[in-house]
Structure 1
Amino acid sequence: MSLGLRPLARVLPRRALFPLARPGEHGLVGGSFGAGNYRKCVQRWTLPGGAALSMGDGRTPLLLVLLLRLWSLCFAYHSDPADGTTGHLKREHTLVKPYQSAGSSERALWDIIGNTMVTSQQVRLTPDQQSKQGAIWNRVPCGLVDWELQVQFKVHGEGRRNLNGDGLALWYTRDQLKLGPVFGNAQNFSGMGIFIDTYYNEGKKTDLQYPYVSVMVNNGTLHYNHERDGRRTSLGGCPIAIRNVKHDTFISIKYAMQQVTIKVDAEGRHYWKDCVEIRNIQLPTGYHFGASATTGDLSDNHDIIAIKVYELSVERSEEERFQDWSNVIPSAELILEPEEDEDAEEKKKHQDEYEEKIWAIKFFCLVFFSMLAVVVLAVGCAVFIIRRQEENRKRLY
């Protein structure tokens, strides 16, 4: 993470310009910048020659104003040296402690639905109870062409390993505030969903490790198959060990130049780790950011600690700068092929089930009529023997 304040490097040493983060680190620690961190930041600003700046040393107010300005820029600016993108924090799409922008008031920026509870420490989408659903949605549609979504979250509960579920999802979709079976959101959504699935439903042996992050882009026609963990409609993903850990966990979803890049920090190192990169993704502007979660027979606490959205500065052609991105239809390369494969597999499954039923009926009929023939034969033999015996008696008399 760099702050883009190169002109100040001549006044302040490099060590003072980066008091809280190293290159490559993210800035979502704690979801907000508290007073304790502020004091630490102030104590580390030094001028050449050893002169210190602090809140209580009686220095000129001009230096204090400069310090406060630098502090605000630090946490409103974002840079990724890996791909050269830079961005600015969009506060209308941001949710941080103490979550004053969430609720039902007219001035709120985030709506809650279902079993979601807002506290001073987290937004709990679902409690650790069975059959719960909850979601939080940004009211303001996103007009950004290139953006990055950073989320700090926590998944924890009393259930033992492999006895917890179901997971949570992060959304960029057209519709909002609709509860449903897709991690608390409706089926056949239009947009993109990032699923953090904590329970393996399919039952077959798999090389995938759970919890697992997967990506799905939908134009409203695809169906997420929960029983198969959306395997046929997934565009890619990676495992992420985030349940019941003591440190903070983070995920970054970057959409730039029709490419989705996901990075995670699940080890508490405050350093992004590559998850998956998917090209040829088309997403329109004007959709909404959101997060949802669900529990079934198994449960967990699904908490959102912070959500931050950055507008990315990406070099584009003159034509792209004036293009109307709001009419773009969500799409991904070969997005329809998994659906066709799934339909074929479903048909084959139904065909196999039908053939099993027919075979069972045939077997039952064979057994039934065989037993009936045996009974009829036995009765016929008995009648024949009885009549023969009666004829023999008549001859004797």
Structure 2
Amino acid sequence: MANLLSLCLVFLINVSLFVSAQAPKRRFEYKLSFKGPHLVQRDNSVPFWEYFGDALAGDEGIRITPSLRSKKGSVWSKNKLEAKGWEIEAGIRITGRGRVGADGLAIWFTEGRASQTDNPADLVVFGAADRWKGLGVFLDSFDNDGQHNNPYIMAVVNDGTLAYDHQNDGSTQHIGGCLRDFRNKPFPVRVKIEYYNQVLTVKVHNGLTNNPNDFEICLSASNVVLPASGYIGISAATGGLADDHDVLYLLTHSLHDPTAESTQVSEEERQKFEKEFEQYQEELDRAKQDYRKEHPDQKDEYQDGDEQWYQSQNDKELRQIFDGQNVIHVILKDLNRKLDELMGRQEIVISRINSLPVGQGQPQGQPQQLGQQPVAGSIQRHEVDRVLGNQNSLLQQLGELKLVIGDVQHKINTIQSKGTGSAAGVSDQMALHEIKDRVNTVGNDVKSLLSKPQANLQCPPSSSESCLSATVFFIGLVAQFVLTIGYFVYRSNKEAQAKKFY
């Protein structure tokens, strides 16, 4: 049993490795793709693409046809897709006010492409020419055959000799399809077309969710032969009814065999790329020369090289020193302002204390009698305690300020030593000395403030006589005792009289 399980496990691992090894390699083809925002250039063109007819390009996408009757439009790539396998994903939004739309939209991979010089009367297949050679994936929204099987998505392969059957909606010509309602959806409808090893697969996102991976297989056909290279295009047309046919993005990937060895770039392709690079370089040089002619004052700016746009190490260190000096200057200004406020408050407190008379305003030897009011203008004990507390708090704050200023002075000395070691200029040294002098001045002011004599305060003398004599105390005690005895006697008499009623 164990051997059987191990064999099954090895078989599954080999199958998974084989499937993963056969997965094609994807390469993004930017010249065959477009996506917003900022899709349109200043000249109303889309890079590597050409649109004509009634198509209108905007920043977020391309409107192939507006919701007007009898309109045709298309957009085609300027370059061919040259790969044996490829994948095309298009984000489409088809909206209209009517219950039924018309006519529809088509995604093309053909050997030839349309152009602005084509006769509009020949564009009879969803805004493109008939008898194409390649693949057309049609999103048909109008029921021409009356079978009530629209909106419908289908794929039609043509070798250049087949005329599309409009009356029957191509029911006898398509290689597969599915019935999907792609009109008036809350999110864009996504169509993914994959062609690899002659197998064509079309997947559709219904536009009901915003999940980009929510695809369903619409059709799959094998032994499909398509041209080795072709143009990619999207076209649309309206008839008696009308819809807005918008293409928000189109992304193209080429699929390659992962087992094939990576081939080097051929000499022809290398010369082609070098030629394109030389052309771009010539256009850039020509643009620079034109700009120099139009702006002769800024001519030297482009001749000095790129060194003027970069900063040397010494300049970087000097800039750091200057930034540090600016920060220290701001801190010192703030400390100076706070110190001025503290000194002003100290002077106000000292002036108020000096304005008060010494002592309690009473001559000594004359005790204050019981119930006598204090003399007007005398200072109370709690006021003295409050003044002393404020003064101690002020001295503590000044001490902390002195420590902070000392720390700032130490940092300035450190910066000065670094500036000297990194070849700072004379102006830097003068600025540092000026800051040091200001810090020393602040320190001297703090020292003079701390050494300033304080006013002497005298506490009020305590009263020598007691507020209550012994005789008065004993008389009060005896009176209280008599009252207590009388209360108990009165209470017992009341209780004895109340018992007579029971």
TM over 0.5: yes
1:259 to 187, 199, 202: 199
- Taking the aligned partners of 1:140 and 1:157, their CA distance within structure 2 comes to 33
- Taking the aligned partners of 2:91 and 2:254, their CA distance within structure 1 comes to 18
- Taking the aligned partners of 2:218 and 2:178, their CA distance within structure 1 comes to 5
Change (3 A) 1:273 1:194: same
- Taking the aligned partners of 1:295 and 1:82, their CA distance within structure 2 comes to 46
User: Pairwise mapping of residues 347-386 of structure 1 onto structure 2 (< 5 A)?
Assistant: none
1:142 is aligned to 2:81: yes
Contact map agreement 2:198 2:225 (CA 8 A) in 1: yes
Contact map agreement 2:74 2:127 (CA 8 A) in 1: yes
SS at match of 2:163: coil
- Taking the aligned partners of 1:227 and 1:102, their CA distance within structure 2 comes to 40
- Taking the aligned partners of 1:297 and 1:117, their CA distance within structure 2 comes to 21
Q: Which has the higher contact order (CA 8 A, sep 6+)?
A: 1
TM-score (norm 1): 0.55
Partner of 1:172: 109
- Taking the aligned partners of 1:141 and 1:316, their CA distance within structure 2 comes to 25
Contact map agreement 1:264 1:273 (CA 8 A) in 2: yes
- Taking the aligned partners of 1:101 and 1:121, their CA distance within structure 2 comes to 9
How many residue pairs were aligned?
A: 235
Partner of 2:443: none
Change (3 A) 1:311 1:99: farther
User: Which has a greater percent of helix?
Assistant: 2
User: Pairwise mapping of residues 72-111 of structure 1 onto structure 2 (< 5 A)?
Assistant: 84-98=23-37, 100=39, 108-111=47-50
The alpha-carbon deviation at position 106 of structure 1 amounts to 8.8
The Cα RMSD (Å) is 2.6
Change (3 A) 1:193 1:104: farther
1:228 to 168, 174, 193: 168
The alpha-carbon deviation at position 100 of structure 1 amounts to 3.7
- Taking the aligned partners of 1:316 and 1:199, their CA distance within structure 2 comes to 45
Change (3 A) 1:134 1:103: farther
Change (3 A) 1:164 1:146: same
Unmatched 5+ stretches in structure 2: 1-18, 262-502
Contact map agreement 1:188 1:224 (CA 8 A) in 2: yes
Partner of 2:145: 202
Partner of 2:381: none
Contact map agreement 2:154 2:174 (CA 8 A) in 1: yes
- Taking the aligned partners of 1:249 and 1:81, their CA distance within structure 2 comes to 29
The alpha-carbon deviation at position 176 of structure 1 amounts to 1.4
- Taking the aligned partners of 2:34 and 2:197, their CA distance within structure 1 comes to 25
Unmatched 5+ stretches in structure 1: 1-79, 319-397
- Taking the aligned partners of 1:100 and 1:88, their CA distance within structure 2 comes to 22
Identical-pair percentage = 29
The alpha-carbon deviation at position 188 of structure 1 amounts to 0.6
Cα deviation per residue 1:60-82 (whole Å; 9 max; x = unaligned)?
xxxxxxxxxxxxxxxxxxxx989
Partner of 1:367: none
- Taking the aligned partners of 1:194 and 1:165, their CA distance within structure 2 comes to 16
Change (3 A) 1:229 1:102: farther
Contact map agreement 2:52 2:74 (CA 8 A) in 1: yes
Contact map agreement 1:99 1:118 (CA 8 A) in 2: no
SS at match of 1:196: strand
Partner of 1:280: 223
- Taking the aligned partners of 1:148 and 1:257, their CA distance within structure 2 comes to 12
Partner of 2:133: 190
The alpha-carbon deviation at position 113 of structure 1 amounts to 1.2
- Taking the aligned partners of 2:110 and 2:132, their CA distance within structure 1 comes to 7
- Taking the aligned partners of 1:308 and 1:223, their CA distance within structure 2 comes to 29
Change (3 A) 1:103 1:171: farther
User: Pairwise mapping of residues 240-259 of structure 1 onto structure 2 (< 5 A)?
Assistant: 240-259=180-199
Contact map agreement 1:102 1:111 (CA 8 A) in 2: no
- Taking the aligned partners of 2:44 and 2:175, their CA distance within structure 1 comes to 38
1:239 to 176, 179, 186: 179
Q: Which shifted more, 138-147 or 82-91? A: 82-91
SS at match of 1:185: coil
1:130 is aligned to 2:69: yes
1:117 to 32, 43, 56: 56
Cα deviation per residue 1:241-267 (whole Å; 9 max; x = unaligned)?
211111121010000001101101113
Contact map agreement 1:169 1:195 (CA 8 A) in 2: yes
The alpha-carbon deviation at position 104 of structure 1 amounts to 7.4
TM-score (norm 2): 0.44
- Taking the aligned partners of 1:314 and 1:154, their CA distance within structure 2 comes to 33
Partner of 1:336: none
Partner of 1:308: 251
SS at match of 2:142: coil
Partner of 2:373: none
User: Pairwise mapping of residues 319-334 of structure 1 onto structure 2 (< 5 A)?
Assistant: none
Partner of 2:151: 211
The alpha-carbon deviation at position 186 of structure 1 amounts to 0.5
Cα deviation per residue 1:278-310 (whole Å; 9 max; x = unaligned)?
111111223100000000001100000000001
The alpha-carbon deviation at position 99 of structure 1 amounts to 5.5
Change (3 A) 1:101 1:127: closer
SS at match of 2:81: coil
Cα deviation per residue 1:105-147 (whole Å; 9 max; x = unaligned)?
8983100110000112220000011000000000001111110
Change (3 A) 1:233 1:107: closer
- Taking the aligned partners of 2:38 and 2:255, their CA distance within structure 1 comes to 24
